[in-house]
A = this chain, B = another copy of it.
Amino acid sequence: MYHNRIKSLIFNMKNLGIKNLLVSDPISIDYLIAYHTAPGERLLLLNINQNGQLKLYLNRLFPAFDNQTLASAVEVYHYSDGEPVLYLVADHLLDGPTGIDKNWPSHFLLDLMAIADNLKPVKGSHLIDSLRSIKSSEEQTIMANASAKNDQAMEAIFKLIEQGLPEDKMVEHLANIYVELDCEGFSFEPIIAYGANGADPHHETNQDQPQLGDSVVIDIGSYYQGYASDMTRTVFYGQPDEESLTIYNTVRAANEAAIAMIKPGVKFSDIDLTARRIIEKAGYGPNFTHRLGHSIGREVHEAGDVSQHNHDKVEVGNVFSIEPGIYIPGKIGVRIEDLVIVTESGCKVLNSVSKEPLIFHPKSL
């Protein structure tokens, strides 16, 4: 599988005239050669050149590279703290444009520019991001399983709603639920927000308990087999008022209309627009304050979002979220989010938890 990823990458490098690609993102390195470490402030670099040579620069404090499948293809260069490893990197560069990873700390780039005065640095992450955005069938299976786990977690949280626990207690329960589901921890700080808290984009889970009629925004995800899940449901604690239900149904309609139009060739921006128009038509346009969604995979946010600014067309194998929301400050927040995989004929929705407006009544103790 990984040999194919590298082959595609080099094919794209040739097309774009990129002679060398310096990959520093630990997740991209793992994606390409199945080696993972958290380098902290130390240099970790995979140099891929157009001739198909792969060189990995590893601090001696990092774990060894021991990928049997790729061992013959990757040359490993060990260095110690204080050793001028960038001279080695510079020596190994082919003449010509060199792709630089988007988040490589500038001091490495500046040092390399000073050594390799013919370095022609250009932005390089998009080469890998575009590969990562098309999930293979193996990846799709893992992501479907990750979301199935997340569905189970959501149902488990539902069972607790009627107990009226404070937000932070719910999050504690959620952590245990993911452990029981063999998940690898939160993929982002979960949001469980009651009533007006759900309308505050900066709300941090606190000790608030739900009041009768409150909406409950539940935006949760975990890692499973290295891939992220992410979904949101909004339910009610006790009977909501009419406007709350109107808001709920508007968000649901936006979510469903967006999902219904997804197929290869449709623009991300048009998907956003479709959801946005429904919310605008209902009079809540200014209350939908964010993009419709984001790509997801090894990371919970990957390159490529579902927004008014992204005019790219969706492709088979893209995985992203559809998450319209309406937020009335001081009153209520509603968001409904699913993950979808683009297929030949449309899309597959990875979440199956009901989108009916669910009302949980507090347990009488």
Which residues of A are at the interface with B, using a C-beta cutoff of 8 A?
A: 81-82, 100-111, 113, 121-123, 125, 309
Contact = CB atoms under 8 A, between A and B. Distances in A.
Nearest to A103: B105
Contacts of A122: 110
Contact of A107 (B82, B102, B107, B113): B102
8 contacts: A100-B107, A101-B106, A102-B106, A102-B107, A104-B105, A104-B106, A106-B106, A110-B121
Interface centre among A104, A106, A113 (most CB of B within 10 A): A106
Contacts of A108: 106
- How many copies of this protein are present in the complex? 2
Contacts of A101: 106
Given A82-B309, A113-B121, 9 more contacts: A103-B105, A104-B106, A105-B106, A107-B125, A109-B109, A109-B110, A110-B121, A110-B123, A111-B123
A82 B310 CA distance: 10
Contacts of A103: 105-107
Nearest to A110: B123
Contacts of A104: 105-106
A91 B309 CA distance: 25
B102 A105 contact: yes
A83 to B, nearest CB: 11
A9 B101 CA distance: 31
A258 B309 CA distance: 58
A108 B110 CA distance: 13
Nearest to A81: B309
Contacts of A110: 100, 109, 121-123
A111 B122 CA distance: 9
Nearest to A201: B61
Contacts of A125: 107
Contacts of A100: 106-107, 110
Contacts of A121: 106, 110, 113
A103 B125 CA distance: 17
Contacts of A105: 102-106
Nearest to A126: B107
Contacts of A109: 106, 109-110
A106 B102 CA distance: 5
Contacts of A82: 309
A107 B121 CA distance: 10
A142 to B, nearest CB: 25
B81 A107 contact: no
Contacts of A309: 81-82
